[in-house]
């Protein structure tokens, strides 16, 4: 298993509903390391770049509107196989179908208000990390529990 980085964003509905701490806490308890994090008021330009692959789809405009409606919390997470691990913790895109115990399954009701975004693969993770952060924003440090998470 490889040490990787991924991008995650706590969306406006979760920020407004007071779930920032709850969501970050799940990542911390799993042993995932936060290496960058910021609260961002997303403008249309950034939203369009982030969701560029969905341009032309019926949900593109509503999603851009949703993501620019109130601040989000953007972060870079690091850990072993972290891209797949965070996707698993996030749950499937539609909170109605997401398993209980996942972030979307536990807190969401509707695909258009699905609490969190997480990169879906290596290329996407690299694109999204570079879109939201610069290399100097990303901290290189060791957590004291790291030696207890792997051999």
Compare residues 102 and 114 and give the one whose CB is closer to ligand CMP: 114
In the complex, what is the shortest distance from the CB of residue 114 to ligand CMP, in angstroms, rounded to a whole number?
5
Burial of 150 (0-12, 13-18, 19+ CB in 10 A): exposed
117 is catalytic: yes
* Chain residues that interact with ligand CMP, rule: CB under 6 A: 54, 59, 63, 93, 111-112, 114, 117
Compare residues 31 and 112 and give the one whose CB is closer to ligand CMP: 112
Q: Give the torsion sign (CA, 18, 146, 79, 86).
A: negative
Give the DSSP H/E element, type plus range, for residue 4.
strand 3-10
Compare residues 5 and 119 and give the one whose CB is closer to ligand CMP: 119
List 33, 50, 104, 117, catalytic entry: 117
Residue with tokens 């693969």: 121
Q: Which residues are catalytic?
A: 117
């Amino acid at each position: 298993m490889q040490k990787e980085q991924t991008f995650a964003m706590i969306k406006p509905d979760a920020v407004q509903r007071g779930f920032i701490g709850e969501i970050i806490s799940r990542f911390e308890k799993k042993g995932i390391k936060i290496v960058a994090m910021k609260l961002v008021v997303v403008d249309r330009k950034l939203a369009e770049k982030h969701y560029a692959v969905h341009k032309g789809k019926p949900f593109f405009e509503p999603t851009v509107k949703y993501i620019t409606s109130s601040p989000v919390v953007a972060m870079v997470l690091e850990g072993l196989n972290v891209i797949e691990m965070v996707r698993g913790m996030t749950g499937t895109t539609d909170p109605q179908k997401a398993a209980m115990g996942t972030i979307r399954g536990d807190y969401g009701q509707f695909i258009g208000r699905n609490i969190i975004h997480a990169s879906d693969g290596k290329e996407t993770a690299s694109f999204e990390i570079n879109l939201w952060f610069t290399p100097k924003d990303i901290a290189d440090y060791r957590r004291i529990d790291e030696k207890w998470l792997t051999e």
